[in-house]
Structure 1
Amino acid sequence: MSAPLGVILAGGQATRMGGGDKGRLRLGGRSLMDHVIDRLSPQVSGLALNANGDAARFADLDLPILADSIDGFAGPLAGVLAGLDWAAGQGVDTIVTAAADTPFFPCDLVPRLQLATDGMAHPLALAGTPDPRRGLARHPTFGLWPVALRDDLRAALRDGVRKVVMWTDRHDARMAEFPDEAAFFNVNTPDDLVQAEAML
């Protein structure tokens, strides 16, 4: 399977952090986004950032900035769609997404997502980790997505679908299980940032 393009999802409003660009918060002297770029870029054939508002504020990253094409902060699926449309223009079949506020995700994210979709006509998978209560916790901002389903996703978003798993379940998405529960720890609050510093 050829290397997918990577898309960092940073299109949210970061309300629990008081707004602003959460990916710009500092962790170990560097931004959360820097940590995410370092982990994702070796695993993909190219990288872009899904973000809304003035793209110029990310000029220093030297990445394509992809805004949502669906109005009204439609959630991660809108960022996935922006990435799929970008990939279609590049002639690439798949993308892998990662959240801008999750600095410790696995360095083998992409190959394990690809392995989980072996044999699928339209490779679609989400990352998962063990959960003592639910058995398996899905991490819907970390996935492998096929360009072939982008028009289906566009129609679903226009119909009001916002929950990632509601759409991925329709297409029998696979699960790539990762053993480390802490790997997908994300920074949502100031307390989370303190915890991330300790983890670092």
Structure 2
Amino acid sequence: MKQPFGVILAGGQATRMGGGDKGLRMLGGQTLISRVEARLAPQVAALALNANGDPARFASMAMPVIADSIEGFAGPLAGVLAGLDWAATQGADTIVTAAADTPFFPCDLVPQLLLASEGMTHPLVLAATPDEQRGAARHPTFGLWPVALRDDLRAALKGGLRKVVLWTQVHGGREALFPQEEAFFNVNTPDDLARAEAML
């Protein structure tokens, strides 16, 4: 399999952070997006940022900015679709997504997702961590997605689907289990940002 392309998902509205671009908040002297970029870039063939609104605010970043094609903030799946459409124009077979507000995700994210996808016709794998009650807690903004299913995803989104897991289950999606739950700690509120500073 060819090395996946990477897409950083920053298309949300950041309401719990008081609006604006959560990914542009500073953490230890760097933006959250810069920290995510530094972790994901070595693991992928190319990188893009999924964000809505004026792309000029990300002009300092050396990657293309791609907006959702589905109207009305349709959630992370809309960002996944934007990433798949971009990757298709570049000749890629798969993408790996990472959330812009999750700076500590595993440095072996992509290899582990690829390992879990072995033997799949359409590689579709979500990151997960151990959970005492459910067995595994999925992290739906961290996944491996096949370009071949982009039109199926587009139709599902236009039909009103918003839940990532509902779509991945239909296509026999798998999970890649990562041992450290803290690796997927995401910054949703000012308190979370303070906690992330302490974690650095």
TM-score (norm 2): 0.99
Q: 1:45 corresponds to which residue?
A: 45
Can you list the C-alpha shifts for 1:152-191, whole angstroms capped at 9, x where unaligned?
A: 0000000000011111111110100000010000000111
Q: 2:71 corresponds to which residue?
A: 71
Q: 2:102 corresponds to which residue?
A: 102
Which amino acid is the alignment partner of residue 30 of structure 1?
Answer: Q
Between 106-115 and 129-138, the greater mean CA deviation after superposition: 129-138
What is the deviation of 1:134? 1.8
Can you list the C-alpha shifts for 1:65-118, whole angstroms capped at 9, x where unaligned?
A: 100000000000000000000011001100000000000000000010000010
Q: 2:183 corresponds to which residue?
A: 183
Q: Secondary structure at the match of 1:49?
A: strand
Show structure 2 runs of 5+ residues with no match.
none
Q: 1:120 corresponds to which residue?
A: 120
Can you list the C-alpha shifts for 1:101-147, whole angstroms capped at 9, x where unaligned?
A: 00000000001000001000000000000112222100000000000
Q: 1:33 corresponds to which residue?
A: 33
How many residues get paired?
200
Identity of aligned residues (%): 75
Which amino acid is the alignment partner of residue 120 of structure 2?
Answer: M
Distance in 1 (CA, whole Å) between partners of 2:180 and 2:195 is: 16
What is the deviation of 1:2? 1.6
Distance in 1 (CA, whole Å) between partners of 2:33 and 2:17 is: 15
Distance in 2 (CA, whole Å) between partners of 1:198 and 1:56 is: 31
- Cα RMSD for the two superposed structures: 0.6
Q: 1:93 corresponds to which residue?
A: 93
Q: Secondary structure at the match of 2:59?
A: helix
Which amino acid is the alignment partner of residue 131 of structure 1?
Answer: D
TM-score (norm 1): 0.99
1:167 is the counterpart of 2:167: yes
What is the deviation of 1:63? 1.0
What is the deviation of 1:62? 2.0
Between 125-134 and 43-52, the greater mean CA deviation after superposition: 125-134
